[in-house]
Copies of this chain bind each other. A is one copy, B any other.
Amino acid sequence: MRIRGIALALLAVSIPAAASTVPLDEPIRPIEPAAVTNPALVELGKKLFFDPRLSKSGFISCNSCHNLSLGGSDNLKTSIGHNWQKGPINSPTVLNSSLNLAQFWDGRAADLQEQAGGPIANPGEMAFTHELAIHVLESIPQYVAEFRKVSGRDQIDIGQVTRAIAAFEETLVTPDSRFDHWLGGDSGALSAEELAGYGVFKEAGCVACHNGPGAGGTSFQRMGVKAPYVTSSPEQGRIEVTGDEFDRMRFKVPTLRNVELTYPYFHDGEAETLAEAVEVMGRLQLGREFTPAETKQVVAFLATLTGTQPSFVLPLLPPSSERTPPPQPFE
């Protein structure tokens, strides 16, 4: 299988027009389209993802900070939470997050379902509780009916809520980037500059961490390997989860998929442009000063990782009932 992959890759190089179903054997792997096995669960999860009634204020939804019009992030340095609280960390994109080895920058949630419960109950984010969120959902007849349909049960619990949100999020993959076309054997999919950028990206060692289908998300790494990362952010990374000094300033390597859409960069959002992020990464992680031409090439390559964005009809949310507790934005 491995040998056949390489053989077809060579074939694709020698016959540029022929697209192969076996991708080139590269450290970045193609993204597969989502396989939806439970469309009703996905539809329910989509509604919940957009529903601000999962927050105390009735104003903040998952989509507020993982905005699917904006590459699945909020494009803010750090996010805005309940009562306009300044969040501690840059909102990572929800796109392709199912490909991550764990969720949150410090990996404190094992998977998307575990993650989804976090912001709802975080006093600095949606500032609600799981109990109150369930209380709201149970007061909305259309939600009760939809949960019954997917779970077969009359009662809603937080596990059902986060399972539905996770099922929707699992559909938020972005296949068909130009880079994926190139991986698939279409050698004309990338320009000479983009290919040169990918060459620099591999040769410099970026792929040591930015690999796999997500071009990242496969490991935790120290921010500041060759030189310390200087920031005013107090975030210390994975040590908050493990208590292990080894994990100080170790963060989940972010995906580079759709990275041209998910500015600003790093866990503290301090890098405003891709060029700045590439330059800092080269210097701090690899001990390498990229030339301006190299940086330009790498940035050009990174833009080829933008895939087809999830496309769906804006969900219509079921109305509250007279039993629904009103939101409390100012309390």
> Contact: A320 with B57, CB < 8 Å?
no
Pairwise interchain contact B311-A313, C-beta atoms closer than 8 A:
yes
Q: Which residue of B lies closest to A69 (CB)?
A: B317
* Given A313-B312, A316-B69, A322-B275: A327 and B76 interface contact (C-beta under 8 Å): yes
Q: Is B319 within 8 A of A264, CB to CB? A: no
The yes or no answer to A33 lying at the interface (CB within 8 A) is no
Q: Is the CB of A80 within 8 A of B329?
A: yes
Q: Which residues of B contact A285 (CB under 8 A)?
A: none
Query: Within the complex, which residue of B80, B311, B312, B326 is in contact with A264, where a contact is CB–CB below 8 Å?
Result: B326
| Residue A315 is within 8 A (CB to CB) of chain B in the complex | yes
Taking CB atoms, residues of chain B closer than 8 Å to A75 are 53, 58, 320, 327
Q: Enumerate chain B residues within 8 angstroms of A121, measured Cβ to Cβ.
A: none
The verdict on A284 contacting chain B, using a C-beta distance below 8 Å, is no
Interface residues of chain A: helix, strand, loop or mixed (majority)? loop
Judge if A139 is at the interface, Cβ distance under 8 Å: no
- Bound form: Cα–Cα A331–B151 in Å: 46
Query: What residue in chain B is nearest A50 (Cβ atoms)?
Result: B69
Q: Is the CB of A58 within 8 A of B74?
A: yes
Total number of A residues with any Cβ neighbor in B under 8 Å: 43
Assess whether B59 is in contact with A76, with CB atoms less than 8 Å apart: yes
Give the distance to chain B from A143, nearest Cβ to Cβ, in Å. Answer: 13
Cα distance A330–B269 when bound, in Å? 14
Is there contact, CB below 8 Å, between A86 and B330? yes
> A331–B315 Cα gap in the complex (Å)?
33
Q: List 24 A-B contacts (CB under 8 A).
A: A52-B67, A52-B74, A57-B76, A57-B80, A58-B75, A58-B76, A68-B314, A69-B315, A69-B316, A75-B320, A76-B329, A77-B326, A83-B84, A86-B329, A261-B319, A263-B319, A264-B326, A272-B326, A275-B322, A311-B313, A311-B316, A313-B313, A313-B314, A314-B314
